Amino acid sequence: MSDPARTLAGLPVWDGTAARGVATVTWSAGRIDDVTASEASVLADEYSVIPGLIDTHVHLDSSAGSAPTDWATWPIITPAAEKSLHVVAHAAAAARAGVTTLRDLAGSEVQLAAARGLDDRLVPGPRLRVYGTVGMTAGHGDLFTPPHYPHRAPTADSPDECRKLVRQWARQGVHGIKIHLSGGVLSMGDGVGWRNQTDAEIATTIDEAHALGMLVAAHTHSVEGVDRALAHGVDSIEHGTGILERHWAELAERRIPVAPTLLINDRIAAREIPVTDEAADKAKGVVAERDERFVGAARAGVRFVLGTDANGVMVRFGDQHEELRHMQALFGWTAEQAMIAATSDAADAIGMPSLGRIARGAEADLVVVKGRPWERLEDLTSDSIVAVVSRGETIFGALPELTPTQGASK
Ligand SMILES: [Zn+2]
């Protein structure tokens, strides 16, 4: 059964890179058929069309329920099948904010089950990209789980184990691999400056992931982690606290995307959410080092993309708009630069250039929004989202009735 053709006629279109003026967008079978200049509709002053937003760094397996839970305990006591329902609920919350693609960087069967259900349109929702982690014993990813707990996520402690774990993830159907090149803020008992993995382990992991057609995202807060990310050829840098001036030129020239995850570290550092003293102290250190380095990096052309680390608790699904405004302010960006970081640049960062764009042949992931967020980022709020289309289907709101300003529609 093929989908009927759909149309948005006569609204201002911002295509993921630039404003296209008033146009008509048509799509069928999940793909955009055409974008053509057209007469304005009566709603052209009020509404516009932008590509669906892409968050390149999230964690979906936390409680989406209303009952208060401890974020660290919940993943340990909740069965996998139940977690998948929470993943879908978080994804739906993101969709209501116009986010049509989420990349989960610590996935498992939980996120994969949800991703396949959403792709199959069992419930309306965005696209999920799911990455499997390859990390060491006592590394960042291993320190969310108490040492005596038996049902741990897998770890890998030699080049051979890394290669095998990449292959096991590939068999499970993940879309990419996440590695850790330093300790983290929320992992318990490490320092953000701890080295994670040896050079041989990193090189082997990246070699195997690339051989099996997967991108590698690298978590790092340390300077050494950035050095090693560049030396080994990762495909994106997550957090990037250790980015120094000497890294700027290479990062910019190779257009390696960096997800700055600003809001989450600010909130943990300021204790806006309940966290341990350990996490708050680590986040304070990260924030103190980060801002000045990032301002210079942005000016030097380092490609920062929308990546929030949203986990539904410290950064909620829907906070992507606030993260973008934070990026705009810190980097001295125009509204349009922030929108590019959340659409076409974010799509390229996750290896899916057919997303984040409104163009013939691109995926039909569209948002009808009140206002013109590429001119005024303040226009991008949850209240301003009118309709969200993913894979050609409306997953939130309703497409507006559009009549031409002159004469009757034909
Ligand atoms: Zn993360």
Domain ranges of the chain: 7-50+358-397, 53-349
31 and 363 Cβ atoms separated by less than 8 Å: yes
How far away, in angstroms, is 102 Cα from ligand 1 center? Answer: 12
* β-sheet with 258-259: strand ranges across: 53-58, 99-104, 127-134, 176-180, 215-220, 236-239, 258-259
How far away, in angstroms, is 346 Cα from ligand 1 center? Answer: 16
How far away, in angstroms, is 368 Cα from ligand 1 center? Answer: 29
| pLDDT value of position 61 | 94
How far away, in angstroms, is 130 Cα from ligand 1 center? Answer: 12
Question: What residues pack around ion ligand 1 (CB closer than 5 A)?
Answer: 309
**Low-confidence residues in the chain, pLDDT < 70:** 1-4, 406-410
How far away, in angstroms, is 213 Cα from ligand 1 center? Answer: 22
* pTM check: above 0.85: yes
CA–CA separation, 118 vs 113, rounded Å? 9
How far away, in angstroms, is 157 Cα from ligand 1 center? Answer: 21
Helix H or strand E segment including 26: strand 19-28
| pLDDT value of position 402 | 83
List all residues 6 or more positions away from 372 whose beta carbon is below 8 Å from its beta carbon.
12, 14, 19, 48, 379
CA–CA separation, 260 vs 98, rounded Å? 20
Fold of 7-50+358-397: Urease, subunit C; domain 1 (2.30.40)
Token digits for 71? Answer: 């974020």
How far away, in angstroms, is 59 Cα from ligand 1 center? Answer: 6
| pLDDT value of position 64 | 96
| pLDDT value of position 188 | 85
Q: How far is CA 74 from CA 63, 64, 83, 89, 354, in A?
A: 7, 11, 9, 16, 36
The CATH superfamily holding the domain 53-349 is Metal-dependent hydrolases (3.20.20.140)
Closest CA to 340 of 27, 9, 30, 19: 19
How far away, in angstroms, is 62 Cα from ligand 1 center? Answer: 13
Closest CA to 182 of 165, 204, 203, 197: 197
